[in-house]
Amino acid sequence: MSKLTHLDEQGAARMVDVADKAVTQREAIAEGRILMDPKTLAMILDGEHPKGDVLAVARVAGIMAAKKTHDLIPLCHALNLSSVKLAFTPEQEPSSVHVEARCKLSGQTGVEMEALTAVSVAALTLYDMCKAVDKGMEITGVRLLDKKGGRSGHWQAG
């Protein structure tokens, strides 16, 4: 197992110095899911939610969150993202919305945290938009699926 890169030799937190790293194409894909009552899912899909198009709002929230990851996670670098895409897939069994985020850039550090943050905030936005009708929703399974670029190369979840 590799050493933790955000700790110095004395164990103090530090921001990783990426100045000498090569600029490469980097991409990360993350996923998560929000479980909900079937009536809540139907309301979202039928466009009958009183707050409007909740998936559109969650998409914008996820994109904004990816762009602001460095403001939320203390040791993340501010990145110049070239692309952030979110996809929402409704699922009947179990009643849920699958959220997937794909982040890309040309840079010296990866975009895993941005993809994970995008998924998390998109799911939280769905919760916020729907909590008046379904307080029992559950956000689950937030994880990295795939990352490309950099010294460590390509990695995929098993």
Which residues participate in catalysis according to the annotation? 128
Q: What order of strands is seen across the sheet that includes strand 83-91?
A: 83-91, 96-107, 24-35, 138-148, 155-156
Element (H, E) at 124: helix 112-130
Give CA–CA dist 111/104, Å, rounded: 7
Give CA–CA dist 67/17, Å, rounded: 20
Rg of the chain in Å (alpha carbons) = 17
Task: Please report the sign of the dihedral spanned by the C-alpha atoms of residue 38, residue 43, residue 46, residue 47.
Answer: negative
